[in-house]
Amino acid sequence: MKLVIFDIDGTLTLTNHADELCFLRTAQMLIDSEIKEIVPEQFIQYTDQNIVRELYLWNQGKEVQETEIETFKSMIKLHLNEMKVDKPELFHPVEGAQSILSSLNSDWKVALATGCWSFAAKLKLEAAGIILPESLPISTSDGILSRQEIMLNAIKMAKLNYDITHFEKIVYVGDGIWDLKTCASLNIPFIGIEAEEKMTKRQALGHFWKLENYLDQDFFRQCLENAKIPAV
């Protein structure tokens, strides 16, 4: 039995821009109105939980409190719900994502591992029209700072869900340089996808950039079988 783990933003859904806009608005409202942008590469760990932590450290010089995280979450949820109504064009699926997810379970088991909080993951998947089985393992940033921990938790959840102690092969599919580095640190094969036509991101992913979408299912399966562990 083999396992493929998907990221969500930029990998299954075209929601990176919506996500960054909501984080920027919330950070300006709750932390510092002078914050100008959210740049993923600035953060030690690009996860919702850690982004908030680092923003408080940089702008207020203090560790974020749990009550502040909960307030931040509530505001993100409000902004995401408003945005999916006002700007539905920011919540599209990556082409072929639903079909590939539905077709894999016979030979590759599926899990999700995302840097966003669980409520945001579910909201963005739903807004993009991605329908998942209720039992599908989804590891998120709720209470977790690092992408390594999120991915390891996804593997643990998948083993429990699929009643297996060892996967023959595990592959992660993601769109960020942080995904590639996480796979390198955990010795997990990686496939890079860039569906938003950002050449700088494609260049950062280098020869691990294989996909623009999932329309060619045979090619995707070839990518899974041939996926290699990054060395960075």
83 domain-assigned: yes
Range of the domain at 204: 2-15+92-226
Percent of the chain with pLDDT over 70: 100
Task: Tell me the pLDDT of the chain averaged across its residues.
Answer: 95
Report the pLDDT value the prediction gives residue 115, as an integer from 0 to 100: 96
pLDDT at 200 exceeding the cut of 80: yes
Task: Give the tens place of pLDDT for each residue, 113-125.
Answer: 999 999 999 999 9
Report the pLDDT value the prediction gives residue 16, as an integer from 0 to 100: 94
Q: Which of 204, 211, 170 is nearest to 189 (CA)?
A: 170
What separation in angstroms does the CA of 185 have from each of 92, 152, 182, 189, 224?
31, 11, 5, 11, 19
Examine the domain organization and report whether 58 and 124 are in the same domain.
Answer: no
Tell me if 49 sits within 8 A of 117, measured CB to CB. Answer: yes
CA 85 to chain centre: 22
Examine the domain organization and report whether 70 and 145 are in the same domain.
Answer: no
Domain limit, last residue, from 88, 116, 143 = 88
Percent of the chain with pLDDT over 90: 90
For the chain, the domain total comes to: 2
pLDDT at 208 exceeding the cut of 90: yes
Examine the domain organization and report whether 149 and 100 are in the same domain.
Answer: yes
Domain limit, last residue, from 56, 88, 120 = 88
Examine the domain organization and report whether 41 and 11 are in the same domain.
Answer: no
Task: Give the tens place of pLDDT for each residue, 89-114.
Answer: 999 999 999 999 999 977 899 999 99
Query: What would the DSSP string read from start to end of 4-55?
Result: EEE-SBTTTEE-HHHHHHHHHHHHHHHT-TT-----GGGSSS-SHHHHHHHH
Examine the domain organization and report whether 8 and 21 are in the same domain.
Answer: no
CATH code for position 128: 3.40.50.1000
